[in-house]
Chain A
Amino acid sequence: MNKVLDTIISKLYIAELFNYLNNCIDIVIGAFNTEALSMEFVWNTIAAFFTIAIFSFLIKDNTLYKIAESIVVGIAAGYFTILLLWTSFKPKFWDMIVVEGKWWYVIPGILGLLMYFRFNRKLNWLARYPLALYIGIGSGIAIPLMLQTFVIKQFKATMLPGNLHSWEGVNNTLIVIMVLAGLIYFFFSVPHKGIVGKTATFGIWVIMIGFGASFGYTVMARVSLLIGRIQFLLGNWLKLIE
């Protein structure tokens, strides 16, 4: 009796599986019947193949993953080289000199070429000239602006007037206390004993709360990337969801 039942069930499953495969083939053939849809389907299938190939690493390292990884790295390197050629070398060097006749654009070109002398042991000192110019100009522009953006403005925002009568005031007071406690934890010139020790312990709690918030956001970011791929696989590719 059991054997009979097993046979019926297995046959039913096989029939269902067969139907499902037939439906899938119909979808594929249907997709190829319309030219526009077929191209979309082909590209989405290629993208789906690479998505699955990358995810296969989670099971274990394998050839499929390595192929997908190599293709991504290769395409990215090739794409970036051509992009730089067309967005930097052609408009800023070739067109300026050859098309517009601005010969003085040869000077930055020569400076750029000097960078390659780093590969020559005897003449590598020549590479220092463009680097000196680049670092000099870069630092001159960046240091004052970065100091303002990331240090002075942040100092000001830490030292806002605090009180206990409003939420904003309480928030400002908490910021001052917590920043000081966090800084004391990193102050190693005094032994972490007594009041300093207690403040440093509070400081480590503050830092841990900060790390916790960052970790929570990081988890959310990683899950978002997984969700993005699933939206693509189930939606754009298989059309199972909207």
Chain B
Amino acid sequence: MTKILLVGDSHLGAVKRAHDANPERYPSFSFAYLGKGGLAKTRFFDVDEAKGSVRITSQGWRKLDFCRSDQDLPNLVVLSLPVNTSRILREMSWRTHVPWRLRQHDNELALSDGFVDRLIDTDSGYAIEYAAALTEIGLSIAALEAPRFFEDAPYLKRCRLDVIRYIDTLYRQRVVDRLSDLGIGVITQAPQTISEIGSTKMEFDNERPGDVHHANLNYGQIALQQIQDFASQHLGMRTSALK
């Protein structure tokens, strides 16, 4: 039986809840939650090249090991981790610093393109390396894009929307390009969930009022179907290639 394993951060929650609501429809799916995405800024895994294994080492994360010699490796691992702009939007001071093209006010410090790229690479580097390490041991990997910011994200109260949009778009494109270079496909956020201003539509905001960060069950259902479609196409292509 085909096995599809969904691995990653808390943005898997909406997908998992959607799956739990209709498990019969997706019998090949299983989930492995790693931990809060905030920890992906530091190295969270080890690679043993001799054994062909990749092991989660971060203290705050669930232990999950993959080894090339495992008999029951999944046919596809969907990783919700590298394409996630939450950290960089939330934890950088985009009020005081802006990309040089967008500078408008005297109190804004202009950042060069090279420095912004460096911030993105630093933030996403370990997650991309993890995906690359999994492909190195023979796993098929796809990345699941995390939902874009919501309009009620607290940093939008102090930062300009055009700056946040610029960073969000640049980050996603840069990471998708790097994953693409590694042969890793990306399941992008469904267009119908994205608003005109580039945020995730509020109708997909998490059910809990205090949560301004995660998407809801409806979003999870759309993402789950996208994963199913991607897996069918991807695994179908592999099957035909083997014939």
Asked if A pairs with B, the answer is no
